Amino acid sequence: MPECIECGAYTKFNNGHCKDCFQKQNGNPWVSGVIKGRIAETIVEQLFISLGFQVFKYGMENSIPGISDLLKGVRGDVSKNIRQMPDFVVFKDKQAHFIEVKFRKNGSLSIKDIESYGDYPFENALFVLLSPKHIKCISYKELKAGKVIHEKCRNWLGSRKEFETDKELIIDYCRYAIKFFENVD
């Protein structure tokens, strides 16, 4: 059984930290969330490139570098819309799509998750959800209509009519995602 390299308590990871020592060492759980999100975005970006899409980074961090610090404590429609910018715009066969990437350990996504800042301004966005087991996709319109992604639903990215994608390649990328996320808290 793996032991924490600090205190000797049980951990999931060989040569790693237990949950308590990890939190003491890393402090801010927000940082962990940012890292998970960036890994998820990178996997999805590379997946769409492999599927023959042109991929453009679009989110707040890429379109307006440095603005996240300026928006701290700022309220209003403009700041809200900037914060909610989708992560990517992807193009293929003269069609463009907004892509918002999410990671959820529990494999669930609902409209409540999306509208925590208020109404979502990008009505044509597609949400690609990575979990430790799957890569799924749902449109904002479907979420708004009350549909959700959960662990047992069949909203596979490879089944979306918008993409008509290579399901085997998506399965390969799902395996990459599992490698990164299977032991994530």
Q: Digits of tens for pLDDT over the chain (185 positions)?
A: 678 777 888 777 677 777 777 777 665 555 677 888 899 999 999 999 999 999 999 988 888 878 877 777 778 788 788 888 999 999 999 999 999 999 998 999 999 999 877 789 999 999 999 998 899 999 999 999 999 999 999 999 988 988 877 889 999 999 988 888 887 76
What was the pLDDT predicted at 30?
59
What was the pLDDT predicted at 34?
80
| DSSP-derived secondary structure letter, 10 | B
3-state secondary structure of 14: coil
Structural domains in the chain? 29-181 (3.40.1350)
What was the pLDDT predicted at 47?
96
Specify whether the CB–CB gap between 138 and 119 falls below 8 A.
no
Distance CA 7, CA 22 (A): 11
3-state secondary structure of 87: coil
Distance CA 69, CA 183 (A): 31
Give the HSE-up count for residue 93: Cα atoms under 13 Å, Cβ half-sphere: 6
Specify whether the CB–CB gap between 49 and 55 falls below 8 A.
yes
In terms of C-beta density within 10 A (0-12 exposed, 13-18 middle, 19 or more buried), how is residue 111 classed?
middle
What was the pLDDT predicted at 26?
61
| DSSP-derived secondary structure letter, 101 | E
Run of H or E including 78: helix 77-83
3-state secondary structure of 135: strand
Structure tokens at 144: 């708004």
Specify whether the CB–CB gap between 107 and 150 falls below 8 A.
yes
What was the pLDDT predicted at 54?
97
CA distances from 112 to 115, 144, 178, 184 (A): 5, 9, 26, 23
Residues counted in the chain: 185
